[in-house]
Every structure is written in C-alpha cells, then in structure tokens.
Amino acid sequence: MPFDVISSARMLERDLPAVWEWFNYRREKLGSLQPNPAHETIASWQERFPEFALVTQNIDGLHQAAGSRNVIEMHGNIWRARCFDCHARYDVRDLKFDQGAPACADCGGHLRPDVVLFGEMLPAGAFESAAAAAQQCELCFVVGTSAVVYPAAALPEIARAAGAYVVEVNPEPTPLSEHCNEILTGKAGEILPSCQKPDREGGLLTRKTPLLTRGFLTTRFSMKTLYFDCFAGASGDMILGALVSAGVEPDALIEQLKSLNVSGWKIDFEAVDRSGISSTYAHVQTAHEHAHRHLGDILKIIYDSGLNDRVKDRAGRIFSRLAEAESRVHNQPVEKIHFHEVGAVDAIIDVCGAAVGFDLLGIEQFISSPLRVGFGMAQMAHGRFPIPPPAVAELLKGKPIYAGDLEGEFVIPPGPRL
C-alpha cells in the first residue's frame, strides 16, 4: 500500500488495525536509532541559554532521547498514542496490541498514533507556539529541512521579519538559503558540535561567521531590513518608486544608471496620490526597439558598466535567475534563452535601478509578504497564457502567493525576482 495512503487520515476510519501495524513496523525500524551529535548539541544549548525553544517536524523522539525538554512537535510523536474520544495520551511502549488496536484505559475508546497524518491539521497550538518563539528569538538555526513544507517553512521567515539572525545548516541549498544571514553547508552532526568550540579548536561560529562570536549571543543583531508589502503585486517600476519614497535620492540613482552602456531611456519620478496616500510613481520611458537580448548580452551591459561591484553582482544574479526560470519553462539551455519584455531597456533600467537603490539605502536583508498575483489571462510574446504566466510561476515556486479578488496580472517580471 502506498505510504501516503496507509499514513492518511481516511485509513484511520477504514482500517485502524492496519494503521497500527504500519506504525508498529516503523517503530521497530526506529528502535535501534540513537541521538546523534547534533541532537546532543541542541540539548546542551537548552542548558546554556535561559530562553531557548526547539521546534521539530520529526516524529522520531530523538530530541527527547538526547535530553531536550518542552519540544514543540509540529507533526506529533511516533512513540505516543492518543484517544479518539477523550484525547488522553499514552506511551505506546506501555500498550498491548493483542487486539490489533489498543483501547484507552480512561474511557475505553480506540487509540490512534499521535502523529499528523496526510489530510490532517497540525496539533492545536503547535504552530502558534512555534511562531511565538520565532517572533521573539534573536538567533534562529534552521537545521536539515527542505524548507518547502508550510506552515513550518514560514517560521524562519517570521524570525527574520522580527530581526533575528537566521543560520541554515543543510547538506545542500534550499529555497530558504538565499534569504539566510549565514549558510553552513554539511551534515548537522558535524557542524553543530563545532559551533560551540572555542577559537583554538576551530569552531565554525568563530572561524567562519564573523557576526557570531564565541559567546553565541554576545550582542543583539541589528540589520537594515527592507520589507515588501505586496498587497498590490510587484513590478520593476513599482519597486523603483517605492525605493525613492523610502529615501533614495532620484538624482543619485539616475547618475549611477548613466554608466550603463544603453541609450534612449529616461526616468521620471512623480509624487502622486493613491486613495489619499502619498506615493511615488516611477515612469521609465524608452525608445521603441526590436532587440531580443540573450542573458550574455545583458550581463555584458551590466559588468561593463561603471556600477559598483555590489550592484553588478545583485543585478547579474537577478537576470541569471530570470534566465533559469525561462530555461525551465521553454526546456532550452540558459545561454539560448532570449528575453522579450525582460530583455528590453526598461527592464534593464528597472533591475539595475533597484539594485542601485538597495545599495544606496544600505539594505542588508529583504522580507516580503505573500504576493498577490491576480488571475485571468495575459497576452505575452508567445501568445495568451493564464495568470501567473509560466515563467512567473516558476520564479514563485515554493513562495506564498494568492490570487486576490480582482482579475488581471499583478506580478510582472522582473518584479517577482526583485
């Protein structure tokens, strides 16, 4: 039987003894496992810091076996059972399975594995407790997660929004990686123990991460953060206007953009009123052109310019990511992708202008609300496509989005990548 069927909520009703048989088998396989050095290190941190919270999606109970207390278990625990009727909880090692499914000693009702099955909600209060801890923390370690399963994947985002310093520990990159303050690549069992070694022993936190000192939290971390509230979507000119409203001097931004080897463009920044709220409208005007540029053409424009290296790097990464998305959509190598709308001069000015603005403001980290993408159909260079179009959908894969109640395209490249 497929894993997602035997581990589903509907199987509790169809064949509870079969569910218990499956979970008993899983416990047999887990029974010989012992906490590794990562579990033990995390347990030691609980003794070291008076304010410490441990949130886990694992159901194996190894954190508790290592000595961790008050663990917030997002998906339950395979070593516990719960009564359907009175919700009493039991250690399964104390139960008898001679009738297939054990009974509750308090009310006589059936017991079930105390884990979150496919098709079930998280335990009451689990996410709320985890979110409260994330909102209050100063340092957030994200260890060994795919960072794609929501709502748990939102916890690092909540921590970052509250000003925490976020460190990812993982063998390979995840969708969270580019948003973290530090990335420690490798096995948690090797990295976490080395984090607490003193300098002379080559501890990672003192040797490789300059903002994390031997005392772990010797100071409160403060970073200049730019928050995007995307209730009306996102586009390049919207972001340029917002940056000017946030304090970027238009003349300073335009002066830097003049070092790009492109002509026939002009930016006007206009103070406008939107529903009684003062805002800035950025209008990028360009001469009509027929050029369809490849990624290499755009990167040459950027790297041959007089922009500083930070701006060049950010703008180059933005266009590279756009090309990767187009590559997957069209099943073509990145170097063969030619841009239509996002290769035009106005898009180059949008991206490079935003990168200049971020640099002028000294932004160190970026946080975004869920993006409103709209719905309906949009006319593109290759024809009519549903909203969001394929390349935008690729860029937003794994990110929180919503359609909203108005038809139309609200997220327009390069907006989502910016």
The dihedral sign for the CA sequence 332, 337, 342, 347: positive
Which of the residues 39, 63, 75, 294 is marked catalytic?
Answer: 75
For residues 95, 99, 102, 104, the Cα torsion angle rounded to the nearest 10 degrees is: -110
| Orientation angle between helical segments 37-48 and 188-195, nearest 10 degrees | 30
Structure tokens at 333: 């190598």
List CB contacts of 123: < 8 A, sequence separation 6 or more.
73, 74, 76, 116
Q: Could you identify the residue written with the tokens 């290296």?
A: 309
Q: What is the DSSP letter of 118?
A: B
Does residue 292 have an active-site annotation?
no
Structure tokens at 47: 């003794």
**Which residues are tagged catalytic?**
75
